[in-house]
Each structure stands twice: as C-alpha cells, then as structure tokens.
Amino acid sequence: MSDVIEIFTQEMFSTLRSHLLGNPKGQEEAAALIAGIVETKRQLRLLVREVVPIPDEYLLHKSSVGLQIHPDFLSRQLKECRLSGSAFMLAHSHPFGGRHVQFSGVDDAGEETLFPKILSLNEGLPTGSIVMSPKSLSARVWLPSENRPRPVDEVRVLGQTIERFNGTNGGRLPEYLVEPPDQGLYSRHVLAIGAEGQRMIRRTRVGIAGVGGVGSSIFTQLIHLGIRDIVLADPDFIDESNLARMVGTAKSDIDAPKVEVLRKLGLRFDSQLAVDTVKGPVESNQARAKLRDVDVVFCCVDSLPNRAFVNRFGCQYYIPVIDVGCDIQMSEKACRRVRAIGGRVMVLMPDGPCLHRYGMATDGLLTDEQDAQRYQLVSGKREEVPSMVCHIGVVASLAVCEFVNLVTGMASRALRSSGVYRMYDGISGTVRECRGANDSDCIVCGAQRGLGDSSDNRVSGR
C-alpha cells in the first residue's frame, strides 16, 4: 500500500494552527481543509490549499470537550470540493491534548457516520481528518477502497525547512521507515548535521530537470551527499562539447542519452541507488508523471519557458524548486571579451514569489526566448553559448548547499519564501544575496497552487 502524505505550506499550517489552538476559553475549534490530490504508485499526497475556519454560527455546540458542526457548512465546502476535484478534510483541536494526541471515541463515531457519506458525495475522492493539540497532531484518511480510516504516514510543512512529522503522533518520523545511516560512509556528515539530518537527506526523493553541466554537477554531489532516489529528465544526447562541462562523462559516452550516462555513473557509486530517467523534455507527460512525487526539484533547464513551467509545476504539486542558472556574457565588440560571469540560485517555494514576481520570467522575456527557440528550430542552428565547468561547479555547489539547508535546517540564513536569492559573480569571485520580490501574489502560479492532479478531477456542475 502506498504512503499517504499531507502537505501544508507554512502559511496554511500557521493559519490552521492559530485557529484551532487560539481559542481564549480553551474551547475546541474546527476547520475544513480543501486539498489537491496527487496519486502515484508510491504515494497519495493531499496538498492542503485552503483552510476554512468554521465560524461559530455553524457550530451547534461548542465547548472544551466537543463540537457539533451544522451540515450547511459541510454541504458548502463539499460543493467546493466537488467542483474543483479536491479532497475534503476536517481538522479540529483537542486543546488539552498532550504530546501524543489521538482521535477520541467521539471522533471515531462522528467520522463513521459522516465520512462514508462524504466519500460518496465527493466522487470517491479521499477524505481526511486531523486532530491537533498544542504539542502534537494525528492525521488519518478514508479511502474509497477501504472501509476503515488509515493513519497518515507523514504530515509535511514547507517552511524555512521541510518539516516532516509522523502523522500518527506528530513526533519525528518513525525510525523503522529509514535505514540507519551508514556511519562509516557519512560519518563526517553526521558530525555536521547529525544522524537525523542524514536520514532526512536519505529519505528525500529529488528530481533534476535538465542534466547538462549544472544538472550533472548537482547529480554527482547529491549521490555523494546520500540521496538514494533520483528522477532525471532531459531529452538530449551527449555531444563532444558536453564532455567539457558534464562531470563524470567520458568520450565513450558520446551519442548516449545524458540521463542514461548519469544513471550508470550513479550506480557505479551505489548499486542500490534508484535512478528513474526520462529521455524527454521536462514538460512531457512522462516527465510530469515521474516528477509529481519527488520532494525537491532542481531546475537546470536551458530555456526560460521551461524554467517558468517547472516553477508552476512546483506550485501545482507543492514541490520546492531550486532554480539554478549560470552563464558567461561576452561584449558585442569585434574583439570579444568577457563582460560578465554570473550564476543564480533561487529557492522557489509553492507559496513564495515565483520567477514572474522576481521579474525573471516576464511576458516580454518569455516571448523573446520563445522566438529565439522557434528560430533555432526552423534554421536548424543551435546557438552555442559560452560556458565553463569551473563556474558551473560553483553555482551547482551553492544550489546543493541550499538543498541541505532546506532538508535539514543546517544553516540559519535561508532563502525560502523571503524574496531573496543568491547571485554568483565569477569576475569578482563573490556571492551576494539579492532581494527581488516583495510578494507572492502571482495570478498564474496562484491559480495552480496546490491543485495537484485535481485539475483533472474537476466536474462541470453536478
């Protein structure tokens, strides 16, 4: 049976928590959650994209030991879920619950009456519930194929770091789900980030979109870091000029698909490494299908439209995107000289600013690049841009450092959700932080946020 994971953005989780546990009289509170759905062979993910606190006028009874919710409220939220193809979830608090809060007998009885009905009315989409105390939470889900609720394996909050809680008691993830880290191999890592940090790295599934110079450098660092499960997507084959930039390649790899060459490289390091490859562009159906249940995506594609696509994809599936780019700009004069050597690392969280809000994927820039791509396609000429492995390596390392911060919370200075990104200047050899966006209010990304596969489940009316 696949794992069930509930994912919140930091904003959604904070909204829920402050409502459920903020009652000054210590009374219980409740909220409806509307969640996008992602279902793969490995996992069922519920992406909480709306928290609707239940107003007092819809509570028939409210005290420190219980709530009764008027069906009118449930009917309205269910309608919203039916129309958007979303999952319905009910969250409530046990204000006096302790460190291991559990669903009570009253909760069990209430769900047994209500939830099968919700399952039926909401076209068989999963229905879930969460109970939260000041110190812990528990979550479970009702699936149409099962007539009993099953515990949620993990509740994840995408904040400054990716917080991962055990869905049955809100504590750390159970040890049995992760192998003990190889103390010999990763002993130096463990000294820096602890065994728990190394476990978090190990159980993170990573996607890399584009495995040219930057992507291959990130790939090799990730496998040395302890990642065991990677999805690679790239349509290209290795040509001679790639060998100078792609770490770990050799002349014998020429004309082989880039993703396959890296897969073999990874297996040479660790024969147990799971490398899933897609020999196609990141926006292809095959790549989308495989990237839906990764935990973090590195975006190392060449074109701006593809970067914008990966950014929207991350918003849609609640997957943090680490966008990485590196280029060398030459002067236009007859005697060409290096004008700038630059690199950029941005952590794009689902509820944070997007490339558009950073001003890096404006309509004008996207149109220019699409025109250039069309010209290359028609003319058959592929424009070669200057690039060197040394600068690529610096930027790739910066990106992997951000990944470690995101997954383990190792470093305090984080870029997430704050409109800040990191720029590398290869001429001065410096890295600086830049502020590029003050808000995350993008209508394009906002409309996609947390939908998951739910856009495919939408119904027109009834």
Partner 1 sequence: MMAEQSMGNRPGISIHINKRHYFAPKAQMTGAEIKSLAAIPTANMLYRDERGPGPDTAILDERSVELKPGDHFYDLPIGVVGTEGDNDVPLSSLPEIRARVSEELAMQIQEVMDDYPGTMITVTPDGQVQMVVPDMRAGPGWDPTVVPVLITVPSDCPRSTPQGFDALVSPAPGRGTPGGVSSVTRDGRQWARFCWQVPGWDPSRHRLWHYVKHVRRRFWEENQ
| Residues at the contact surface with partner 1, assessed by CB under 8 A | 28, 30, 60, 64-76, 78-79, 83, 90, 92, 94, 96-99, 101-102, 104-107, 109-110, 113-114, 117, 120-121, 131, 133, 461-462
Tokens describing residue 266: 């990874």
User: Nearest approach, Cβ of 121 to partner 1 (angstroms)?
Assistant: 6
For residue 5, count other CB atoms closer than 10 A to its CB. Answer: 23
User: Nearest approach, Cβ of 448 to partner 1 (angstroms)?
Assistant: 19
Rounded to an integer, what distance in angstroms lies between the CA atom of residue 151 and that of residue 299? 33
**Each residue of 210-245: b (16+ CB within 10 Å) or e?**
bbbbbbbbbbbbbbebbbbbbbbbbeebbeeebeeb
Between residues 26 and 386, which has the closer beta carbon with respect to partner 1? Answer: 26
User: Nearest approach, Cβ of 42 to partner 1 (angstroms)?
Assistant: 31
Between residues 60 and 385, which has the closer beta carbon with respect to partner 1? Answer: 60
Between residues 44 and 51, which has the closer beta carbon with respect to partner 1? Answer: 51
User: Nearest approach, Cβ of 79 to partner 1 (angstroms)?
Assistant: 6
Between residues 63 and 183, which has the closer beta carbon with respect to partner 1? Answer: 63
User: Nearest approach, Cβ of 95 to partner 1 (angstroms)?
Assistant: 8
For residue 167, count other CB atoms closer than 10 A to its CB. Answer: 25
User: Nearest approach, Cβ of 161 to partner 1 (angstroms)?
Assistant: 21
User: Nearest approach, Cβ of 45 to partner 1 (angstroms)?
Assistant: 24
Q: Which secondary structure element, helix H or strand E, spans residue 434, and what is its range? A: strand 430-435
Report the half-sphere exposure of 165 (CA within 13 A, side-chain side): 25
Between residues 28 and 295, which has the closer beta carbon with respect to partner 1? Answer: 28
Contacts 24+ apart (CB under 8 A), 430-435: 431/398
Opening angle at CA 382, ends 276 and 254, nearest 5: 50
Between residues 96 and 375, which has the closer beta carbon with respect to partner 1? Answer: 96
Beta bridge pairs of residue 324: 345
Between residues 59 and 321, which has the closer beta carbon with respect to partner 1? Answer: 59
Between residues 100 and 150, which has the closer beta carbon with respect to partner 1? Answer: 100
CA distances from 165 to 32, 41, 148, 418, 425 (A): 20, 22, 22, 24, 39
User: Nearest approach, Cβ of 56 to partner 1 (angstroms)?
Assistant: 14
Between residues 123 and 371, which has the closer beta carbon with respect to partner 1? Answer: 123
User: Nearest approach, Cβ of 172 to partner 1 (angstroms)?
Assistant: 12
For residue 209, count other CB atoms closer than 10 A to its CB. Answer: 28
Residues 101 and 133 sit within 8 Å (Cβ to Cβ): yes
Rounded to an integer, what distance in angstroms lies between the CA atom of residue 195 and that of residue 296? 20
User: Nearest approach, Cβ of 130 to partner 1 (angstroms)?
Assistant: 11
Residues 5 and 162 sit within 8 Å (Cβ to Cβ): no
Rounded to an integer, what distance in angstroms lies between the CA atom of residue 431 and that of residue 394? 10
Between residues 364 and 461, which has the closer beta carbon with respect to partner 1? Answer: 461
Tokens describing residue 303: 């074109």
Between residues 2 and 147, which has the closer beta carbon with respect to partner 1? Answer: 147
Between residues 102 and 418, which has the closer beta carbon with respect to partner 1? Answer: 102
CA distances from 149 to 57, 126, 129, 140, 263 (A): 29, 10, 9, 6, 39
Rounded to an integer, what distance in angstroms lies between the CA atom of residue 418 and that of residue 440? 9
Please report the DSSP string for 313-336 in residue order: HHHHHT--EEEEEEEEEE-SSSS-
User: Nearest approach, Cβ of 288 to partner 1 (angstroms)?
Assistant: 28
Q: Under 8 Å CB-to-CB from 338, ≥6 apart: which residues? A: 328, 329, 330, 331, 386, 427
User: Nearest approach, Cβ of 106 to partner 1 (angstroms)?
Assistant: 4
Rounded to an integer, what distance in angstroms lies between the CA atom of residue 53 and that of residue 59? 11
